[in-house]
Amino acid sequence: MPATGLCDNPRCSCDPCLCQDCRCNTARLGRLEQQVMEVLSAAGGELGGRQVADRLPRHAYTTVVTVLDRLSNKGLVRRRLEGRTRRYAALGSGADHAAALMHEAFRSGGEPGPVLAAFLGSMTRTERTALERSLESILTARGGERA
């Protein structure tokens, strides 16, 4: 952890870190991938590659279609052929995708206890607080029962 700065991410690689929301050492979508996902999510349905590219005028059509295909291969976007046109739609929300990745990693990590301990140890204070609130909300909704 950096000796000074605003960061509380234990995996931060900056020294000193001045990030308001440090994401060091975390897998994430690239900037254009995020923009494409935002376009698809805002559309609320299917769009053709040209429609997506038209909403991102700073990027070439071929670049946008390549990103759409990559997002489809990552399981974030549904790709459907309609005649000669490929149609794309976001699959779930960003939170849904992140949850699926976390669940997959958890299931492939071996014993649950050490995996959870390592995961919790890698979280920032802000992330741990959000997790505590989410767990509290879930337990309250279930009447305090534990699953």
pLDDT digits (tens, 9 = 90+) for 12-52: 666 667 666 665 655 567 889 989 988 998 898 899 999 99
pLDDT score recorded for residue 1: 37
Task: Tell me how far apart the alpha carbons of residues 67 and 79 are, in angstroms, rounded to a whole number.
Answer: 12
The CA-atom distances, in angstroms, between 114 and each of 42, 61, 129 are: 39, 46, 20
Task: Tell me how far apart the alpha carbons of residues 12 and 127 are, in angstroms, rounded to a whole number.
Answer: 14
> Mean pLDDT lowest for which of 69-73, 90-94, 101-105, 113-117?
101-105
pTM of the model: 0.57
Helices (H), the chain: 31-43, 49-54, 61-73, 94-108, 112-122, 125-141
Is the pLDDT confidence value at 7 over 90?
Answer: no
**Tokens for 147?**
């699953």
Task: Tell me how far apart the alpha carbons of residues 142 and 67 are, in angstroms, rounded to a whole number.
Answer: 41
**CATH number of the domain located at residue range(s) 31-90 in this protein:** 1.10.10.10
Sheet holding 47-48, edge to edge: 47-48, 85-90, 77-82
pLDDT score recorded for residue 11: 61
When pLDDT is averaged across residues 52-56 and rounded to a whole number, the result is: 98
Tens-digit pLDDT profile for residues 106-145: 777 778 888 888 888 989 999 999 999 999 999 998 876 6
